[in-house]
Structure 1
Amino acid sequence: MCRHAAWLGAPRTLASLIHEPEYGLLTQSYAPRLQRYGTVNADGYGMGWYDPGQDEPVRYRRTVPVWGDANLPGLARVARSHCLLAAVRSATVGMPIEETATAPFADGRWLLSHNGRVDRDAVRDLADDLPGGAESPCDSAWLAAAVFARRRAGFPLGEALAEVVVHAGAKDPGARLNLLACDGASLAATAWGDTLFFHDSLHGSPSDDLREDSLHRGEDPGGGVLVASEPLDGRPGWRAVPERSLLLVSAGDVHLRPL
């Protein structure tokens, strides 16, 4: 398995996902609290963010443990954006440990991370029309390629994730398919086989009914929405995403619906 986290809202640094929180991705790399499969995420890490001067997101990926990169703390303190995604990796058995197998995967303005495992044959047919196929033979790269193929076909972010996850889950009942994706203006995530949480400081107190299609409306220009495999800190307000659900986050709304 892996752990991942993302932010959409007022600009903040990548350190706010990795180093600053008590249970940020640095801590989750060696001492995750809620991870159901595996105990250490030391097979690499990656991060992506959107710079106003660039058409596509910036990525930084390594195959070393996140605690083993002496350059990362300084970089994470200055890499700042309104939309961030980062992940630490525990490689699926038999999968390569290489930068091309490390999230976030990218296509155009899209970034994607996968927390889980899947039989590559369960998604290979969905990725055939993506030029070049997957960038790595690892299962997560093929899953990303399948989602990106849907993007190229014009699917919205959430619909692309939902179609691929439901398709893969039907073909591989034991798959774990927690996906986290963004395009600079929105986030989408699936809970399918492992934990997923969100914390909304943009729209006020969340509804108690997590099955409502539109949970919150309104805006607080200083806030935003955190999405993570497990809570990054002990603040109140973290909400668990129900199993087999799709979470959608934009500047104006947070939506949640069953898959």
Structure 2
Amino acid sequence: MCRHLAYVGPSTPVGSLLTQGPHSLRTQSWAPREMRGGGTINADGFGVAWWHHPDAAALDHGPGVIWHGGAAGDPAETSPVSTGPVVSRYRNHVPIWTDPAVDEVLPQIRSAAVLAAVRSATAGMPVERAACAPFLHGGWAFSHNGAIPEWRGVLTSVAAEFGSASLLDAEALTDSAALWVILRGLLDVGTEPGAALRMVAGAVLQRSPRARLNLLLGDGSGVWATTWHHALSVLEGDGFVVVSSEPFDADPRWRPVEDRRLVRVRDGRVSVEPLDIEIGRAGS
């Protein structure tokens, strides 16, 4: 399983969102509170994605402030899009608390939208950089907190249902990476993000009722998430929103999201609605 977090709001240091609060995402890597049977620690790598505008480098944001994520192939990768913000990413397969970039580099980068995750690898899946969320495509970033039993057969069947690209296109041999191939195919044809999450979750759960599917998706201005078995909370502040597996501080504005819900964050507003996925007695 994993812990993940998404932020949209005023520009903020990317690194601070990994370390903010007494129960920060970094702290959750070794002391999570709400794993719900999904392991005990999240020490199998981490990643963070952030968005910036292509012309941001030409603007003067003050000394020591970086607004870009490096060229593709560098440790900080960039996924360009033709219009709108560009998403960049930094990942490492080591425990987040061992990587000095979290304190020395990432705080120098600022963004108004961030998506991050720490990983607990499911038994039998590789511990490697390519297996760490966030996964990118175009202007999208994606994370999956959970697991899909018998995922190879399940996702092969789901991919066939949706006419997805080959699962061999997945970045890593994991359920999360393969799930992203299916989901990004729906996004590419214009499916509304919340509807795409609901469709994919429903198709998976019909075939694997014990799947755990807390999905987290961002595009640089909005956030979409599901709760299916694992915990999720939302913090609405003054002009910002955080969606996180666990609250990172004691701010009374945090509120838990019920299970089997779809969360949308658009224009700084949060909506929560039932997923309305019927899977019968086996999934209850």
Whether TM-score is above 0.5 comes out as yes
Does 2:243 match 1:227? yes
Cα separation, 1, equivalents of 2:33 and 2:2: 12
Does 2:113 match 1:83? yes
Does 2:143 match 1:113? yes
User: Is the 2:8–2:268 Cα contact (8 Å) retained in structure 1?
Assistant: no
Alignment equivalent of 2:252, drawn from 231, 236, 256 = 236
Amino acid across the alignment from 1:145: V
Q: 1:36-67, CA deviations, whole angstroms, 9 ceiling, x for partnerless residues?
A: 12111000000000012264300111100001
Cα separation, 2, equivalents of 1:173 and 1:30: 29
Cα separation, 1, equivalents of 2:8 and 2:152: 30
The 1:27–1:152 alpha-carbon spacing in structure 2 relative to 1, beyond 3 Å, is same
2:22 aligned residue: 22
Q: 1:167-213, CA deviations, whole angstroms, 9 ceiling, x for partnerless residues?
A: 111211110000111011210000001101000114xxxxxxxxxxx
Cα separation, 2, equivalents of 1:39 and 1:113: 19
Does 2:246 match 1:246? no
1:18 is paired with a residue whose SS is helix
User: Is the 2:48–2:116 Cα contact (8 Å) retained in structure 1?
Assistant: yes
Does 2:48 match 1:47? yes
Structure 2 unaligned blocks of 5 or more: 55-79, 276-284
Q: Which deviates more from structure 2 when the two are superposed, residues 126-135 or residues 228-237?
A: 126-135
User: Is the 2:20–2:248 Cα contact (8 Å) retained in structure 1?
Assistant: no
Q: Shift of residue 9 of structure 1?
A: 1.1
1:167 is paired with a residue whose SS is helix
Q: Shift of residue 130 of structure 1?
A: 2.5
Amino acid across the alignment from 1:190: T
Q: Which deviates more from structure 2 when the two are superposed, residues 48-57 or residues 230-239?
A: 48-57
Q: TM-score, normalised by structure 1?
A: 0.88
User: Is the 1:9–1:251 Cα contact (8 Å) retained in structure 2?
Assistant: no
Q: Shift of residue 252 of structure 1?
A: 4.5
User: Is the 1:115–1:176 Cα contact (8 Å) retained in structure 2?
Assistant: yes
Say which structure is richer in helix: 2
Q: Which deviates more from structure 2 when the two are superposed, residues 132-141 or residues 77-86?
A: 132-141
Q: 1:10-57, CA deviations, whole angstroms, 9 ceiling, x for partnerless residues?
A: 111223321121111110000011221211100000000001226430
1:124 is paired with a residue whose SS is helix
1:12 aligned residue: 12
The count of residues paired between Structure 1 and Structure 2 equals: 239
Percent identical pairs in the alignment equals: 41
Amino acid across the alignment from 2:273: R
Q: Shift of residue 99 of structure 1?
A: 1.3
Does 2:209 match 1:173? yes
Cα separation, 1, equivalents of 2:144 and 2:92: 16
* 1:207-218 pair list within 5 angstroms: none
Cα separation, 1, equivalents of 2:147 and 2:135: 15
RMSD: 1.4
Q: TM-score, normalised by structure 2?
A: 0.81
Q: 1:203-259, CA deviations, whole angstroms, 9 ceiling, x for partnerless residues?
A: xxxxxxxxxxxxxxxxxxxx2100000101111011111111000001152111111
* 4+ runs deviating over 3 angstroms: 125-128
* 1:93-108 pair list within 5 angstroms: 93-108=123-138
1:120 is paired with a residue whose SS is helix
Does 2:164 match 1:129? yes
Q: Shift of residue 86 of structure 1?
A: 0.5
